[in-house]
Chains A and B, each alone.
Chain A
């Protein structure tokens, strides 16, 4: 298995632009998580999907953030409009056992200028 696949690896955009991050979980995993990592706040859970259904999005910082999982093999995290404070590494992770044995993707390094 190729593991959790995220794209793009790097994204540089200007403030106000829309950003879409993509994730393909490991086949057979029914839990998908989006995390954000910054030096100041560490790893923060943004949203959790189980069987493609959003279970908890309380970590999504604002209405500018939205996430979808239209099927078991694809999820997106969208930021619109983007702001400089959104600059961070965004990780997608999946698991076949809820929160246990999480496998992380390589992350998307987002820079909003």
Chain B
């Protein structure tokens, strides 16, 4: 099955700096890669996703890049703000069209004012 590795597990940045979280996946047939943000005690919320036919996608201060050859994808947050502090999870589906989402272990991002 799919295996998703995520790093770092914790990340601290100064407000205004950029944050980068990286994930690797094992199943070359995976074609859908979402990122979820989970604030303490809250539900995971989808913040951005990318399909394998696209190399990069942006939405305001967040962007995701995908390298299919290397089987890794990254989340980039620019101009970080205190409200960006949360746990971020990457995920990949287990093969094209699969309903199985395998999640990474999460990255706890702390933005220091």
Tell me which of A16-24, A48-56, A70-78, A79-87 binds B: A48-56
Report if A112 contacts B (CB, 8 A). no
Interface membership of chain A positions 79-107, coded 1 if the CB is closer than 8 angstroms to chain B and 0 otherwise: 00000000000010000001111111111
Instruction: Say yes or no: B98 contacts A91, CB within 8 Å.
Output: no
Report if A69 contacts B (CB, 8 A). no
B13 to chain A, nearest CB (A): 23
Could you tell me which residues of chain A, from 23 to 62, have a CB within 8 Å of some CB in chain B?
31, 33, 42-43, 45, 48, 50, 55-56
List, in ascending order, chain B residues with CB within 8 A of A107's CB: 43
In the complex, what residue of chain A is closest to B89 when comparing beta carbons?
Answer: A43
What is the CA–CA distance of A65 and B101 in the complex, to the nearest angstrom? 20
In the complex, what residue of chain A is closest to B101 when comparing beta carbons?
Answer: A99
Instruction: Say yes or no: B46 contacts A101, CB within 8 Å.
Output: yes
A55: contacting residue among B34, B46, B97, B99, CB under 8 A: B99
Could you tell me which residues of chain B, from 71 to 113, have a CB within 8 Å of some CB in chain A?
89, 93, 97-101, 103-106
Known: A42-B103, A42-B105, A43-B103. A98 touches B97 (CB 8 A): yes
Known: A42-B106, A45-B101, A48-B99. A100 touches B49 (CB 8 A): yes
List, in ascending order, chain B residues with CB within 8 A of A102's CB: 34, 46, 101
What is the CA–CA distance of A101 and B97 in the complex, to the nearest angstrom? 13
Instruction: Say yes or no: A31 contacts B43, CB within 8 Å.
Output: no
